[in-house]
Every structure is written in C-alpha cells, then in structure tokens.
Amino acid sequence: MGRYNPDSAEIIRRVALKPVSIGLLGLGTVGGGTVKVLKRNAFEITRRAGREIQIVAAAARNLKHPRQCDTTGMRLTMNPFEIVADPEVDIVVELIGGLAPAKELVLKALDAGKHVVTANKMLIALHGNEIFAKAQERGLMVAFEAAVAGGIPIIKAVREGLAGNTVEWLAGIINGTCNFILSEMREKGRDFAEALAEAQALGYAEADPSFDVEGIDAAHKLTILASTAFGIPLQFDKVYVEGIRGITALDVSYAEALGYRIKLLGIARRTGEGIELRVHPTLIPARRLIANVEGVMNAVLVKGDAVGPTLYYGAGAGAEPTASAVVADIIDVVRTLTSDPENRVPHLAFQPGAISDIPVLPMEAVETAYYLRLSAEDKPGVLADVARILADHRISIEAVIQKEPRHGETQLPVILLTHRVRERELNQALRRIEALPTVGGPVKRIRLEPLG
Amino acid sequence: MGRYNPDSAEIIRRVALKPVSIGLLGLGTVGGGTVKVLKRNAFEITRRAGREIQIVAAAARNLKHPRQCDTTGMRLTMNPFEIVADPEVDIVVELIGGLAPAKELVLKALDAGKHVVTANKMLIALHGNEIFAKAQERGLMVAFEAAVAGGIPIIKAVREGLAGNTVEWLAGIINGTCNFILSEMREKGRDFAEALAEAQALGYAEADPSFDVEGIDAAHKLTILASTAFGIPLQFDKVYVEGIRGITALDVSYAEALGYRIKLLGIARRTGEGIELRVHPTLIPARRLIANVEGVMNAVLVKGDAVGPTLYYGAGAGAEPTASAVVADIIDVVRTLTSDPENRVPHLAFQPGAISDIPVLPMEAVETAYYLRLSAEDKPGVLADVARILADHRISIEAVIQKEPRHGETQLPVILLTHRVRERELNQALRRIEALPTVGGPVKRIRLEPLG
C-alpha cells in the first residue's frame, strides 16, 4: 500500500497515537485466524480504529503445537489465568470455547477491570445474564458478535441497525453443518447418514455431531438473537429444540415437489401472548431468498415493523470469517474505552433496567403450518377419515399428495400440508389419526413457515 | 405492552432520564414515516436508547397540506432555518433532499453546534467531504445510513461490522426503480418502455425517471459505499455511469438462455492499480443469491478478505424502511452526545487523517467480461471474422449463440460471451468488428460479472 501518498507509515504515525493491548485466550482455529487477520490487515484496521491493536500475550493449550499463525511479539503461556490478570492487557479475547474454564476466565477478566470479546455462544447463551450483570456493574464491555452466524454482523444489525423497529420475528439458518447436510440431501438425493458422513469427511461436522445435528448449537445462537431483538433475558432452557436426524430423503423430495425446501431454522417470534423460541426443521417456500442459502453458509431473516423483511448472509463459521467478527468487536470496544458507560450500546441491545419479562411460550401454544406424512392402507375412505379428524380440530388442508401404489404395495404414503394451527390442536388430531386402524405407524410431522 | 411487569411507564421512568430533542426538516414521505416510527415505537426505542427521543419542531413546505402523521407536540414552521438555529434542538434531521437549501441547512446546523442525521444521498455524495470536514472540526456527528439502500443497515455493516477486513469489492442493487423495471422485463417479457410505464403507474418511478434509470441515483449511493469500504474521499465525478435505457427484452431473454440475469449494479473494486467505481447493467449468474433479488428490493454484496462474501438485503426505499435507518442513526447519535470525538466511529469509516489517495481508474482500465450482441449477414465466414478480431486482441470467447435465420431474414443476431478483458482492448476490437462489411450497425455490449 506504500504506493499511496501519504504512505502507510506516515498514516499510522499520524492517526495511531495510543496502541491497545490484547490478551488472547486460545490459539486454535479462531484464535489463529484472529492473529492472522489482525496482522495482515493492521494497516486498514489502524486507519479505521485510529489505534494500533497489538496482541501482547496469548494462551494456548500446548506451546509445542506447530502454529498456523505468526506469534512474534506475543508472550505465550499455557496458563490463561496469567493473561486475565496481566495489568498490561486492555481487552481479553476469549476464544477457548465451552464453559470451563471460559466462564471463570471471563468473570476474572471483568474483576480485573478488562473489557472482553468472546466468540463463545454456549457461554453467552447459558451464562450471559450473569456475565453482563457483572460487566454492567463494573462499567465494562462484553462483545460477542462472533458468537452468532460467524462473520455476518447480525448482532450489530439487530442491536443497532434495526434499533428503530419493533422486531416482529426473525428466522435464521444459523448452523452450517445442518445446512450443508440438508443441501446435500436435496441436491444429491442422499439420505441423512450419507450426507452426515460427507460433512464429516469435509471437516464440516465433528466425529460426534450431536451438538450440531440435534439443534443445540442453533439454539444457543437463537437464544442470543432473541434477547437482542426483543429485550428479554437469555433463556436457553426455554427454547424448543428439534434436530435434523429424523429428516429423510423422501421428505426432502416431497417438500421439493410441493415447492418447498427443508432448512433447520432458529425462529423467534413475538405474538400477542408472548415470545416463540424454537429450533426445528422447517419447510419454507423455495422462492424465498433464504431457501436458496446452500452448503455451510448462514443467513438470518429479520422482520421489523418499519423496515419490513431484511436478510443478512455470509459464512457462519471458519477461522477467518469468525475472526472478522472478533476483530470488529475489538475495534468497537476500543472506541468505548473512554466513553461514558451510560451512553454505550447495551450488551443485549436494551437497557439492563428495561429488560422485559414477556413470557416464552411452550411449543404447544405455538401456531404454525405443517407438512404431515403418513402411511395408509390402500383402501377407499382412508383419506376421508384423516380429513374428517383434521376438520374436527379445525385444521384446514392446503395440499395433498397421494401416491399411486406400486406393484405389491399395500401401504401408501399420503402427504398433507395444513394451514396454520396451534400445535396443541395438531397433537390431538395426530393422536387420533395414528389410532386409525388403516394408518400404519406414527405420522411424520415437519413444521412449515411461509416467512413472508 | 402493559402486560409486562414492570410496566412500560415504570420502565420509561427508570431508564429514560434525559430526553433528546429532534428538529425535523421535511414532513414529506420520509419525514412523515420518521414521525410515525418514532411515535409508534417510542417504548422499544426508549428501552434501547435509554432516552426518550422527542421531535420538538418540524419544518414543512406547506403547513396547510394534510399530514399522514400526527404532529402533536411539535412546533411547525415553514422556515427550516428557524429549526437549525433553535437552541432547544440537539439533533437536526434533514429529510428535505436535493442540494438547496439542504446543504446550507446542514452547514448552518453544524455551525450552531448540532449533530445531523440525513437521508440525502446526493448531498453526501457531492458535498460530503466538505460537510464531514466541518463536522470533524466542530466535534459533531453527521449520520447518513438512510442515504444508501433505505432500511438495510449497510453503512453500519461496512463501516463497523466488517471493520477487520480489507474490502476487496462490493456490488449492489441500489436502485429499486431499475430493479423493478428489469424484473418486470424478465418475468413478463416486457420491453423497457412498457416496464417503465408500469413502474410509473405503481409510483415506483417519477414522471421524469432519468435520475433513476440513467444510474445517477445508484452512482450517488455507490460513491458513499466505496468511501466507507476503501477509505477514499467521496468522488462522485469519477464514477462511470450507464443506465438501463438501452436494455431490450431481447437482451434479457438471451441472458436468461445463457444462465444469467441482467441487473443494474453499482460496483466498487480494489485492484493493484486503483479503485474501480462503476454503475452499469450487468449480467450475473442466475444462481447467485443477489441475482434473485426482485422488484423494488435492494441488496449489497460485500467481499472482505477475511469474511468472504456477505450479502445484505431489504427495502431500499419507502417511508418506513427509510425511517428505520433515520431512527437508527438518531439513536447512534444520541449515544455519541457525550462521547470523546476522538473515539467515535469516523464519518466515512476511516480516520480523516488516514484517507488514501489511491486513484479511481478510468473505465478503459477496468477489466470485466462482456455479453456482445451483433447483427451479421447470413454468410459463411462472418463468425470466423469476428472471432479472428477478438483473438487479435487476446479476447477469449466463453460462449456463442447464433440463431438460425427465419424466412426472409438476411441479418442474424449473434451473441458472444467473452472472458475478462480490459475495456480498452474490447473497445478497439469492437471498432474493427463494427467496420466489417458483413456486420450491421453497432455492437450491443453489456458487462458481465461472475460475483464469485
């Protein structure tokens, strides 16, 4: 960049008066990415922040492990507690993940008067209320953009960009592993197990993939998004969570035939009675932009009452996309170092004294549409029986696919799309349908959202 | 919202100690929308900002004009200069548009020590450098999120959310009128004039649509985006601008047959030699998310070196979407009222002392791919002549469509897609092709970007 006049060194000298010192906890994938991005983009970052940002110390599990990143100029230690107590450190960046010792480290960093940047969604979703209360008390910042949807600046968008809106609902593809698996299933006709094996081979899924495929990771992120959107406390335990293990190639192809795609969505919605918080596989119209988000990419659709629908798309994981969010947070915190705590953007977007206790609804109180697949005997009157039960529960049918029996088959798949109904009503109807002598086994149910 | 405990009044009392006073210039579409959103969402906004935000005075062109919004509690005047001088006003919100008297009003507001929020893209693109210099001198903020892409928080995303990145390029659908016209042409096979008439009938295009369809409005927005992405001065006069009047239904359908869609894009790209700034119709692969942004919606694709591609989508115009951005800016400014000017986010994302004079490249130095449509005589050897000229200029051909002549036709349309080439080379080749005796008339050329 030395071609420009004034040159880089002169610009740095001119704008960067007070360097800021970072203590980094964790030199794994995201930690290494953060080191790389801070070094490679030092010039652009300093031009923006007006400060040089230096990592003065870093903690790693194993100092002999070969590093992907250049750690020149950093004191390296295997004891992260040294770093949170280091008087030279202005901002602690926690990239260890998990609850222990991350939670203790973050609390100790706050006790030591340091601002914190973290990418730890589990920590924020589970212990954020406690962490933010302590930070608030001490007049410190805890920034966590990287905890949700990797490099997409979605926390900032919801917390600041849409601050003039009453958020009506949001729906996000916030787990790249599940989105990759569902994309593979649709594009290649694969079943879940095959697509999961492919994700594991490519490093998109862990050896034990439960955390991702069972929806827990998405639920952590949804918990955080919902608090910043609605001004409610973090309530991970109130999120309804259903993963994608039960989705079959058959469901994916029926959904497609009906004009829908199946995505694992995290959905938060404000209703007259409370807040819905739910993670589950969802049929969404194939023509929606978010239905076309494929592979490991993430996207979040946010509906504000003034702005209407807005969508944010990008890489939801990976070393440098996550580092992009970590560094943006560091720059934000650098700007608040000297600001009046009262005028800062609140941790969860809403003032701590203004958090609302609007209830989170149980799943039975949620209203949504449904895709139902059942196996019925090839006899006249079966569909009429099913339709009558649905009608008894005031559930209207939007579409039906009934397959012709192939040679020798006596059980036929029947696919129904319903209009919106309360889950409690649907459950009652399904119990009756499953009790019909002509219906074999349980009814497969996938929720459907128009997102329009 | 009184159902929650503590109730709204108690929350407001608890968090909202110091009301902030707004002076509003303009009570037209966006001004009216801003009044509505501030009133309707007063509770949510106060919960976020920690302050009540009150419009104490508003200027309108005609006080007898019936209002869509409730102006209770505001002093109304036909003289906007009263408002910028009013000692009671903390923040001036300029929603008049155009250059006169908006520029004078904004400068006078700054002289009077007031922060400014504006939705005026023309004013910022043409006079932003001067306005920001004065604001900087006086330690004041000028916020302009609403000037680009309406309700999409794209300025915030580029300026803060992606602050850790070196931005490589960005490409945006940032004029809803043009996007509506191009969507209509593709979906209904209409020609430009018909689609424009439809846009006018629906209120999406002005009676004199030049500003939109000739790309000027998009160029204003691109100017602003490029400065916040690259840290360069606002340079509207260096933007290459080409509108959509020349796009025919034929081009739209050939593009579609080749797997592309035609969109009016604003493109800013960093190359080894400088910055490209250009607005023109562009073929983009139909499978890209941004290619599926239809109607009056806007979207901006930003490629950062760390984060990779990110996309931001939403309503680019309209009363309440624009008001959403205006109110977000007001809240941001409220937070800076007591902050140290040195630590604020700089107006154009980069520190004023660190703006770079990296050159903006002339269009002839830009490298891109091309869609070419020419009319050739139905004689052997014509395509060979064209291909030889392209080869002479080292222009590779990616695809060719040559139509069979219909009865009585002697001229055939030939469509070529080229690989990337510098525009200067292409211009030279086109002059030679147009001079061929077998080629009739000028060659139609539309640029093509893979955006991948």
Q: How do residues A240-281 score in pLDDT, each as one tens digit?
A: 999 999 999 999 999 999 999 999 999 999 999 999 999 999
Cβ contacts of A336 on chain B, cutoff 8 Å: 343
Q: Which residue of A has its CA nearest to B271?
A: A1
**Rounded distance between C-alpha atoms, residue A400 and residue A402, angstroms:** 6
Q: What is the count of residue pairs from A and B with beta carbons less than 8 Å apart?
A: 270
Mean pLDDT, residues B11-34: 87
pLDDT above 70 for B304: yes
Mutate to test the interface with B, among A12, A44, A156, A303 (most CBs of B within 10 A): A44
Better-predicted residue by pLDDT, A406 or B59? B59
Residue B165, classed as helix, strand or coil, is coil
Does B187 lie at the interface with A, CB-CB under 8 angstroms? no
**Which residues lie below 8 Å from residue B337, measured CB to CB, with a gap of 6+?**
A343, B20, B90, B115
pTM exceeds 0.90 for this model? yes
Q: Please give the pLDDT value at position A237.
A: 98
Q: Please give the pLDDT value at position B447.
A: 98
Does A308 lie at the interface with B, CB-CB under 8 angstroms? yes
Q: Read off the pLDDT of residues B136-174 as tens digits, 9 standing for 90 and up.
A: 999 999 999 999 999 999 999 999 999 999 999 999 999
Per residue in A291-305, is it b (16+ CB within 10 Å) or e — as a string?
A: bbbbebbbbbbbbbb
Cβ contacts of A311 on chain B, cutoff 8 Å: 299, 311-314
Cβ-defined contact of B326 to A164 (cutoff 8 Å): yes
pLDDT above 50 for A178: yes
Those of residues 273-292 in B touching chain A at CB distance below 8 A are 289, 292
Cβ-defined contact of B48 to A306 (cutoff 8 Å): no
pLDDT above 80 for A38: yes
Query: What amino acid positions of A are annotated as catalytic residues?
Result: 221
Cβ contacts of A50 on chain B, cutoff 8 Å: 342-343, 346, 351, 354
Cβ contacts of B337 on chain A, cutoff 8 Å: 343
Name the pairing type of β-strands B275-285 and B439-448: parallel
**Rounded distance between C-alpha atoms, residue B335 and residue B323, angstroms:** 18
Q: Please give the pLDDT value at position B440.
A: 87
Does A323 lie at the interface with B, CB-CB under 8 angstroms? yes
Cβ contacts of B292 on chain A, cutoff 8 Å: 289, 292
**Rounded distance between C-alpha atoms, residue A104 and residue A126, angstroms:** 13
Q: Name B172's bridge partners.
A: B266, B300
| Radius of gyration of chain B, Cα coordinates, nearest whole angstrom | 25
pLDDT above 80 for A219: yes
Residues B277 and B239: beta-carbon distance below 8 Å: yes
**Which residues lie below 8 Å from residue A215, measured CB to CB, with a gap of 6+?**
A175, A178, A241, A242, A243, A244, A264, A279, A280
Q: Please give the pLDDT value at position A12.
A: 67
Q: Name B53's bridge partners.
A: B20
Those of residues 6-35 in A touching chain B at CB distance below 8 A are 11, 14-15, 33
CA distance B327 to chain A (A): 5
Q: Please give the pLDDT value at position A5.
A: 47
| Radius of gyration of chain A, Cα coordinates, nearest whole angstrom | 25
Q: Please give the pLDDT value at position A3.
A: 42
Task: Provide the token pair at B213.
Answer: 């369809």
Better-predicted residue by pLDDT, A48 or A340? A48
pLDDT above 60 for B4: no
- Which one-letter DSSP state was computed for residue B295? T
Mean pLDDT, residues A273-300: 98
CATH superfamily entry for domain B363-448: ACT domain (3.30.70.260)
Q: Please give the pLDDT value at position A192.
A: 98
**Rounded distance between C-alpha atoms, residue B341 and residue B319, angstroms:** 31
CA distance A395 to chain B (A): 30
pLDDT band for A64, please (50, 70, 90 cuts).
confident
Residues A159 and A165: beta-carbon distance below 8 Å: no
Cβ contacts of A331 on chain B, cutoff 8 Å: 160, 163-164
pLDDT band for B338, please (50, 70, 90 cuts).
confident
Q: Which residue of B has its CA nearest to A45?
A: B164
CA distances for B51 relative to A231, B54, B166, B209, angstroms? 16, 9, 36, 41
Cβ-defined contact of B315 to A306 (cutoff 8 Å): no
Cβ contacts of A314 on chain B, cutoff 8 Å: 307-311
Residue A56, classed as helix, strand or coil, is strand
**Rounded distance between C-alpha atoms, residue A303 and residue A155, angstroms:** 14
Mean pLDDT, residues A106-110: 98
pLDDT band for A63, please (50, 70, 90 cuts).
confident
Indicate the average pLDDT of chain B: 94
State the CATH architecture for A18-149+321-350. Answer: 3-Layer(aba) Sandwich (3.40)
Does B41 lie at the interface with A, CB-CB under 8 angstroms? yes
Does B208 lie at the interface with A, CB-CB under 8 angstroms? no
Cβ contacts of A163 on chain B, cutoff 8 Å: 45, 48-49, 327-328, 331
State the CATH architecture for B154-315. Answer: 2-Layer Sandwich (3.30)
Task: Provide the token pair at B70.
Answer: 């409730």
Q: Please give the pLDDT value at position A374.
A: 95
Q: Please give the pLDDT value at position B16.
A: 65
Mean pLDDT, residues A333-338: 89
Cβ-defined contact of A321 to B336 (cutoff 8 Å): no
Cβ-defined contact of A156 to B151 (cutoff 8 Å): no
Q: Which residue of B has its CA nearest to A12?
A: B354
Instruction: Please name the member of A50, A160, A340 whose beta carbon is closest to the beta carbon of B332.
Output: A160
Instruction: Please name the member of B4, B46, B353 whose beta carbon is closest to the beta carbon of A15.
Output: B353
Name residue, tokens 């500003």: B211
Q: Please give the pLDDT value at position A378.
A: 84
Instruction: Please name the member of B289, B331, B356 whose beta carbon is closest to the beta carbon of A313.
Output: B289
pLDDT band for A188, please (50, 70, 90 cuts).
very high
The active-site residue out of B103, B114, B221, B263 is: B221
pLDDT above 80 for B316: yes
Cβ-defined contact of A353 to B14 (cutoff 8 Å): yes
Q: Please give the pLDDT value at position B379.
A: 84
Q: Please give the pLDDT value at position A14.
A: 65
Q: Would you state the torsion angle of the CA atoms of residues A11, A15, A18, A23, taken in this order, to the nearest 10 degrees? A: -60
Peptide linkage before A6 cis (omega within 30 of 0): yes
Q: Would you state the torsion angle of the CA atoms of residues A156, A161, A164, A167, taken in this order, to the nearest 10 degrees? A: -60
Residues A353 and B11: beta-carbon distance below 8 Å: yes
Q: How many CB atoms are closer than 10 A to CB A16? A: 21
Residues B236 and B126: beta-carbon distance below 8 Å: yes
Instruction: Please name the member of A314, A350, A357 whose beta carbon is closest to the beta carbon of B4.
Output: A357
Instruction: Please name the member of A50, A324, A340 whose beta carbon is closest to the beta carbon of B162.
Output: A324
pLDDT above 80 for B5: no
Mutate to test the interface with A, among B289, B307, B326, B451 (most CBs of A within 10 A): B307
- Which one-letter DSSP state was computed for residue A160? I
pLDDT above 50 for A140: yes
Task: Provide the token pair at B113.
Answer: 């020590």
Decide if B156 is catalytic.
no
pLDDT above 90 for B341: no
pLDDT band for A7, please (50, 70, 90 cuts).
low
Q: What are the residue ranges spanned by the domains of chain A?
A: 18-149+321-350, 154-315, 363-448
Name the pairing type of β-strands A260-270 and A167-173: antiparallel
**Rounded distance between C-alpha atoms, residue B379 and residue A246, angstroms:** 62
Q: Please give the pLDDT value at position B135.
A: 97
Name residue, tokens 């730890």: A120
pLDDT above 80 for B9: no
Q: Which amino acid is at A417?
A: L
Q: Please give the pLDDT value at position A149.
A: 97
Does A336 lie at the interface with B, CB-CB under 8 angstroms? yes
pLDDT above 80 for B67: no
**Rounded distance between C-alpha atoms, residue A274 and residue A272, angstroms:** 6
Cβ-defined contact of A328 to B231 (cutoff 8 Å): no
Cβ contacts of B321 on chain A, cutoff 8 Å: 306-308
Q: How many CB atoms are closer than 10 A to CB B168? A: 17
pLDDT band for B415, please (50, 70, 90 cuts).
very high
Q: Name A377's bridge partners.
A: A411
**Rounded distance between C-alpha atoms, residue B131 and residue B336, angstroms:** 18
Q: Please give the pLDDT value at position B25.
A: 98
Those of residues 148-167 in B touching chain A at CB distance below 8 A are 150-153, 156-157, 160-166
Q: Please give the pLDDT value at position A225.
A: 98
Instruction: Please name the member of B315, B328, B338 whose beta carbon is closest to the beta carbon of A163.
Output: B328
Mutate to test the interface with A, among B38, B270, B324, B344 (most CBs of A within 10 A): B324
pLDDT band for B234, please (50, 70, 90 cuts).
very high
Domains A18-149+321-350 and A363-448 share a fold: no
Cβ-defined contact of A305 to B332 (cutoff 8 Å): no
pLDDT above 90 for A301: yes
Of A165, A167, A196, the residue nearest A179 (C-alpha): A196
Cβ-defined contact of A311 to B310 (cutoff 8 Å): no
